[in-house]
Amino acid sequence: MRRITLGEVCTLLKENNNFHILTHNYPDGDTLGSGFALCCALRKLKKKANVIVDGNYPSKFTYLNENYKDQNFVPQYIVSVDVASRALLTKNVQQEYEKINLSIDHHATNTMFAENVYVDGQCAACCEIIYQIILDLGLEIDEDMAASIYTGVSTDTGCFCYSNTTENTHIIAAKVMPYCDWKNINQINFAIKSRAKLKMERMVYDTMEFYAGGKCAIIYTTLAMQKALGAGDDEMEGLASIPREIEGVLMGITMRQKDDGTFKISVRTNGDIDAAEFAAKFGGGGHKGAAGCSIKGDLSTVKYKLIKAAEEFL
């Protein structure tokens, strides 16, 4: 459980072999991009490395693992990417990997669960760290790495729009763009909406309510709504950004009913409102502008708890 430098990260990667790289559950573009880019880099160093994707692989990210093939070996060194705490791994993965040797992450809230931890909370995406590691390892960016890195930096910043974007995010984008089909990546992640998703968005807009004098907007999806529209995980993505987009809203809350009787809560904030602090009231966490938690209960009970907490918080 020690913090190490980026130079030490590179040394550990060079000195070890037979890597398993863990992504977080509900994998997004940044954890997958970080995983695949790091895996490419290690294989270029003639290491054996596999990416262990935790949770369901979102179909829209198929372009990231098209050229990827699992290698056959016994893992010796376990690295997690973009994973802020063990709780973000599924139970299965938690059991299989009791010890994690290295955590590479951009969440300032990282719980220091690994033997060695490198965290840079200034980075908009974990992929920014991976990009620097690739350079520091003396490797050249290839198409697969570029597509992975671009995916991570663009998806974690809402295509360079969110306030976590930095000059470095733009510079990395400019550096990797010549090597990958970023136009296609943007189409997939930011432009194209399935008709099912469109219907889901419209249904979700119908649930929107405002509280705290318009400073809080709350929306929800239920299993019944999902079933009615035949909406899968892909259609559910991105809904969390909807309530925060409304003028005057400082905190947007999205409730998504899960199979296990809980609601997955996404909190998105504007200005000085700390989403992680709010989510922590319900045992969750995350970043200042984007955080999450889980709450057990039926729709109206969970919603009432959230509204009450939001009114007090704002």
H-state helical runs in 16-137: 29-44, 62-65, 91-96, 126-136
Nearer to a second copy, 74 or 174 (CB): 174
Asked if 190 touches a second copy (CB under 8 A), the answer is yes
Among 14, 193, 258, 308, which residue interacts with a second copy (rule: CB under 8 A)? Answer: 193
Between residues 85 and 186, which has the closer beta carbon with respect to a second copy? Answer: 186
Stretch touching a second copy by CB under 8 A, among 47-55, 81-89, 103-111, 240-248 = 240-248
Contacting a second copy within 79-118 (CB under 8 A): none
User: Which residue number, 14 or 202, has a Cβ lying nearer to a second copy?
Assistant: 202
Q: Which is nearer to a second copy, 202 or 258 (CB)?
A: 202
Q: Quick check: 247 binds a second copy (CB under 8 A)?
A: yes
Taking the CB of residue 51, how many other CB atoms lie within 10 A of it? 26
Strand 262-269's sheet: what is its strand order? Answer: 209-211, 216-221, 251-257, 262-269, 290-296, 285-286
Per rule CB under 8 A, is residue 244 in the interface with a second copy?
A: yes
Nearer to a second copy, 14 or 193 (CB): 193
Structure-block tokens of residue 283:
């045992």
CB of 232 to a second copy, least distance (A): 14
In the list 3, 14, 183, 308, the residue contacting a second copy (rule: CB under 8 A) is 183
Binding mask 260-299 for a second copy (x = CB under 8 A): ----------x-----------------------------
Applying CB under 8 A, the span of 3-11, 51-59, 181-189, 256-264 interacting with a second copy comes to: 181-189
170 binds a second copy (CB under 8 A): yes
CB 34 within 8 A of CB 134: no
Distance CA 248, CA 233 (A): 29
Instruction: Please identify which residue in the block is written with the tokens 């949770």.
Output: 55
Tokens of 62: 């198929």
113 Cβ partners below 8 Å, 6+ apart?
Answer: 1, 85, 86, 100, 103
CA–CA separation, 10 and 218 (whole Å): 44
Write the CA distances from 33 to 5, 143, 305, integer angstroms. Answer: 22, 12, 36
Nearer to a second copy, 61 or 97 (CB): 61
Which among 59, 27, 88 is positioned nearest to 232, based on CA atoms?
A: 59
SS3 of 278, please? helix
Could you tell me which of 29, 85, 76, 22 has the C-alpha nearest to residue 54? Answer: 22
Which residue lies nearer to a second copy by CB, 1 or 171?
Answer: 171
CB atoms within 10 A of CB 101: 18
Minimum separation from the CB atom of position 65 to a second copy (A)? 21
Specify the stretch interacting with a second copy by CB under 8 A; choose among 7-15, 19-27, 165-173, 298-306: 165-173
117-146 positions binding a second copy, by CB under 8 A: none
Nearer to a second copy, 166 or 222 (CB): 166
Q: Helix or strand or coil: residue 78? A: strand
CA distance 20 to 48: 9
Residue 62 binds to a second copy (criterion: CB under 8 A): no
Both tokens of 39, joined, read 């895996």
- Among 198, 223, 224, 228, the residue binding a second copy under the rule CB under 8 A is 198
Interatomic CA distance for residues 80 and 24, integer angstroms: 8
Contact footprint for a second copy (CB under 8 A): 158-163, 166-168, 170-171, 173-175, 177-178, 183, 186-187, 190-195, 197-198, 202, 205, 244-247, 270
